[in-house]
Homo-oligomer: A and B are copies of this chain.
Amino acid sequence: MGYRVAVVGATGNVGREILNVLAERQFPLDEVAAVASARSTGDEIDFGDSGETLKVKNLEHFDFSGWDIALFAAGSEVSKVYALKAAAAGCTVIDNSSLYRMDPDVPLLIPEVNAAHLDAIAVQQKNRGYDGGFIVTNPNCSTAGLVLVLKPLADAFGLEKIFVVTMQAVSGAGYPGVASLDILGNVVPFISGEEEKMEEEPQKLLGKWDGSRFIDAGMGISAHCNRVPVRDGHMECVSLSLKKIASIHEVAEVLRDFAVDDELASLPTAVRNPIVVVDEDNRPQPRRDADAGNGMAAVVGRIRECSLLDVKLALLSHNLVRGAAGAAVLNAELLAVRGYLQYRNASKLSVAEPIAR
């Protein structure tokens, strides 16, 4: 007793990781479809480490009707056409591209941060005339880790200003992505569109849905984005100022104590404590810490005073898991457990129960 899930862009870097996550975390599946462009049609791809393989289906001819969930990881050009088509067919679309993230009726969702934004779905369905289907998006890979860490601070102290410099792994650029000639022993201080996303998306994620529209969080954010010769794991150096005075100790405690409620914790891909605070001076590090919480935790270290703002810290999150594939699957799990799925909402199947772990 599970769901019918289509993964669009299944042969790409993120698509494969979605299949990994679905297989490893044992998302309750009746059927999984690997969908991609005509070029890959008929190829066999691994369904994670399950030993099973999936035959790739052609997106052009794929019928989304009857599929509970469509996870899109094929870029904005594909989402432009097919995500709309899938939503219109009644699917719950979870889009990893940046295309719809800032749309006024589309939730940009991190379950631990802004599950209340799901209320926008009803408005979206009405606006667009969707019958059961809808679109939810997950944030940019470097935004995801940042906002997860900002969330408890925003709740406890309020946030005013955030200064962030990223050092991003090459897997964030997909495959083939960054040429080895450009990045071996090098740093590239530019990732197209990334700084804009990092300055914009947190405003929506940490903002509110007021019943008819999203209200920005209204923080000041400045981002510098860099590519570094690291495989997986985006590192971020952050300085921030708080609305309420707090000691470094209090900030650390709030981060350390951040825990999700039982509903969220029961989701296969969730971790109870999605922020891990490390005490060593030289942590977090991509190679040692990217897999914390099965790649779903953000790891925070070096929490200390900032001489310009209030707090300095370093954070790391796994760009492919927390920043893309795991984020998408976790969104699917939340939507499932809350009964948003068109084809299954009669039964309101629990996501957590049928899973043998």
Tell me if A266 is interfacial: C-beta within 8 Å of chain B: no
Chain A interface bracket (under 10, 10 to 19, 20 to 34, 35 or more): 35 or more
Residues from chain B with a CB closer than 8 A to the CB of A221 are 307-308
Contact (Cβ within 8 A) B189 A283: yes
Q: How far is the CB of A219 from chain B (nearest CB, A)?
A: 10
- For A301-332 the 0/1 string (1 means CB < 8 A from B) is 11000111100101000000000000000000
Tell me if A179 is interfacial: C-beta within 8 Å of chain B: yes
Contact (Cβ within 8 A) A237 B226: yes
Tell me if A222 is interfacial: C-beta within 8 Å of chain B: yes
Smallest Cβ-Cβ distance to A304: which chain B residue: B195
Q: How far is the CB of A329 from chain B (nearest CB, A)?
A: 22
Q: How far is the CB of A114 from chain B (nearest CB, A)?
A: 22
Contact (Cβ within 8 A) B181 A176: yes
Contact (Cβ within 8 A) B184 A224: no
- For A149-175 the 0/1 string (1 means CB < 8 A from B) is 000000000000101010100110001
Tell me if A66 is interfacial: C-beta within 8 Å of chain B: no
Q: What are the 4 A-B residue pairs with the smallest beta carbon separation, nearest first?
A: A176-B179, A165-B165, A224-B237, A189-B314
Give the B-binding residues of A (Cβ under 8 A): 13, 161, 163, 165, 167, 170-171, 175-190, 192, 199, 220-222, 224, 226, 228-231, 235, 237, 239, 281-288, 301-302, 306-309, 312, 314
